[in-house]
Structure formats: structure tokens, C-alpha cells
Amino acid sequence: MKISIFGLGYVGVVSAGCLTSCGHEVVGVDVNEVKVDLMNKGQSPIVEKDLPELLARAKEKALLKATIKVREAVHATDMSLICVGTPSRANGSLNTNYIERVCEQIGSAIKEKEAGHVLVFRSTMLPGTNKEIIIPRLEKASGKIEGEGFHVAFNPEFLREATAVYDFNNPPKTVVGCNNEEAADKVLALYEGLPGPMIKTTLEVAEMVKYVDNNFHALKITFANEVGHICKNLGLDSHAVIDIFLQDTKLNISSYYLKPGFAFGGSCLPKDLRAMTYLAKMLDLETPLLNSLILSNNLQILMTIKKIISFNKRRIGIAGFSFKAGTDDLRESPLVEVIETLIGKGYDLKLYDKNVSLARLVGANKEYINDRIPHISSLMVDSLDDLLSDREVIIIGNKDEEFKRILKDCRDDQIVYDLVRMGECDEGKDNYQGICW
């Protein structure tokens, strides 16, 4: 395939070298003539392992050239990869000036081109940037409509400095956001034969993926550092602790606990988090990340209460209020706090949880339920049908399999507020709302 790459910085040069090694013809484009001259000589303008060899071979095979002329590059290629910078402004907002300028130049070149063109953005951009800024700029400059005269795709990169060539050839995943399946397939064809899943999605989801990845990496580093300081002050080898932590790939290094939903609770997480932050305080250590977790969890509970109140309905039904399905444990269940707040505000509540009902009679939590929260116990009903019969709002509080039929059986005038995402129960219902989706 013939590809033009705009922006001969880190991502652009690595992409050029790796794509030529796959047999693609590449035209690099940059305003910096020094970079252009180096690329035309088959030399790398950046320091990166294995890249000089790739560019030299590309030059020998006549697969690589560079230019400062936008029109020449666009007209000589079928696809453009845009890799210009999107730096932060002083206030933290994204500076899209460079990418907007390039879009205007490419748009003007597309205006004079009869064949269709695919524009693939690799520059990191906030969700909605392509739709709200990039595409309108391109349409204005080209006089054409996206999806007809040209196609826009977003293809985030996951390259680490010093291992970028290896990362390009061994991606954990390849993500393409696009409004057109045929155009998305053309982009994915660039990476044919590479390992990892090939994922087609929307522009906005693809834009968000890169930020989620990088923010999670920052979170992991900060978490490890805070744990490290606590360990050091206790005379422990933090690397020994984390090495053992990392061996748990069932829960610790896995997809568990990474689905958006309601607040955490139960007998372990809140208690142990409080103990850890108290320990740090006793050691005179600042652990802002760990300290923020309870605050953020409490905000999730508060936002849920505010959302329920915003429905302007008085008759509320809660399906499942133990801290997770398959248990009768109400200790530090965040839903108990929601229930108590709603009771205090005078809402008419009905509660259903078969495991809690059983525990109220014979379970280990019998004393806790009957003595500590009798005001909640008295609101419980014996069946899901009873809950559905007259409630204006139904809240799904845990993932008990029985609750899958709630949306199917509820009336159109009943609002379903889902805190756990019960499978695909949100499809085709206007009265369904999820807490984080």
C-alpha cells in the first residue's frame, strides 16, 4: 500500500520504518527540512533501537522518501497517517493547533484529488476531537463530505520509547475507530500478520482507549511507589512484596475489578484500605492515591443517591442489596447506605434479596439484620414479582441471575437503574439507565 505519514517525530518515524519493513511504500511529510533530508538519506532523526537499520533498508529498496510538500504526498498515496503532536496547554487542555493546520493542508490536497483517500489519525486526542474538530476542518478545506470523498479513522499507538520497533511488531492489540467498515479494514490491513486482537470500534471509543491505557499505567506506577514507601519504612523489601502480588494473575493482574459499576464494599476492602492509610499516617507518609480511594468510593455512593433522587419518583424498589450476588453479607454494603439515606428522605421502599431473606431467618447475619438494621429488614418483600408490582423505579443492586428478567418483565412506565450491568438487558429499552454506561 502507498502511505503518506505526516509528522516525522517519534511515532511517525517508527511507523515509517516498520511499515516499509512490511513492504509498504511510505512518503514522510514534515515542515522540518532537516528531518526530511535525513529520511531521504535513509537515516533516523530520532534515537531508537533497530530503527536505523529499518530506514536504511527502506532506502535501499526505494520504499521510503520524504518531502515538505503536502499535495505531492497526498496525491501519491492512498492513505495518510497523521502523527503530529498534540501537546498540553498550560491549563492541561489539549492543544490541537498543529493537527488542525495539517488537516487544512490535507483537506486542500484532497479537494483536487479524484480518488478517495483514507486519513488515519495516530496523534493522541480526547474523545470527540475527530467528530467535533478534525472532520469539520477536513470537510471545509476539501469541500467534500466524510464518508464520501474521504474517510477518517483513529488508530491509537501503543509504542514505548526504547522498545518502539518491538512494540510495533508485537502489539497487545490493534484498535481502529471508524464510521466505515471498509475503511477500517484497509487500516487493519496495514498490520496483517501481527499478533494480538484486531479491534474495530467507533471513533470516540478508540480515542478514549489510549487515555485509559496511559492513565492506568500512571495509576500502577503511583500505587507501586506508595506501597514501596510504606514497605521501606517498615523495613520490608517492597520488590519482594510486589513480586508476590504480581504472581496472582487471577485477581490482581487480570480483568477482575475493572468493570465500571457501583461502589466497593464488604468485610475486606474498606477495612483493609482504612488500615493501610492509617499505617501510612503513623509512619508520617503521604499516600494521596491510597487516601483518595475511600473518598472516590463515597462519591460513587453519593452520585447514585443523587441520580435516584433526580428521577422524581417516590416508590423505589431495590433488587439485591448484599454487597455482591451469592452472599448474605451486608457488612459495609454500599447499598445499605443508599437505602438508609432514601429512608431518611421519606422514600417509599421495597427491598428484595433472597439471600438476605434466608439470612434473616437462619443465617450467620441474622443478628446483624434483625438487631442492627431492623428498619431495613421490615421493608423486605418475598419475591421479585412483589417488587415489580408497584415500584416506579427498580434498582438492580447485584448480579443475581434472577434479576436478568427485570427489564423484560418491568412496565414501560418503570425506570430501571442498573448498578452492575446485567448482561445485555439494556438493549432496546428507553426506560433503562446504567450507572456508568
Contact 3, 12 (CB under 8 A): no
Rg of the chain, C-alpha, whole Å: 28
Alpha-carbon torsion 303, 308, 311, 314, what sign? negative
Q: DSSP assignment of 282-294, as one string?
A: HTT---HHHHHHH
Q: 3-state DSSP call for residue 27?
A: strand
3-state SS assignment for residue 416: strand
Share in percent of the chain as helix, strand, coil (round to 5): 45, 15, 40
| 268 catalytic residue (yes or no) | yes
Q: Edge-to-edge, what's the strand order for the sheet holding 2-6?
A: 64-67, 25-29, 2-6, 79-82, 117-121, 150-154, 174-178, 198-201
Half-sphere exposure at residue 274, Cβ-oriented, CA atoms within 13 angstroms:
8
Nearest to 184 by CA among 168, 201, 205, 170: 201
Whether 6 contacts 12, CB under 8 Å: yes
Q: What backbone phi and psi angles, to 5 degrees, belong to 304?
A: -65, -45
- At 176, give phi and psi (nearest 5°): -130, 120
What residues contact residue 402 under an 8 Å CB cut-off, 6+ apart?
A: 354, 384
**Burial level of 91, CB count in 10 A (0-12/13-18/19+)?**
exposed
d(CA 394, CA 431): 10
Buried-state track 362-389, b at ≥16 Cβ within 10 A, e below 16:
ebebeebbeeebeebbebbbeebeebbe
> Could you give the count of Cα atoms lying within 13 Å of 342 in the half-sphere of its Cβ?
31
| Partners of residue 25 on adjacent β-strands | 2
- Spot the catalytic one: 268, 410, 425, 436: 268
Q: What stretches of 176-268 show up as alpha helix (H) in DSSP?
A: 181-189, 203-233, 238-246
Give the catalytic positions in this structure.
268
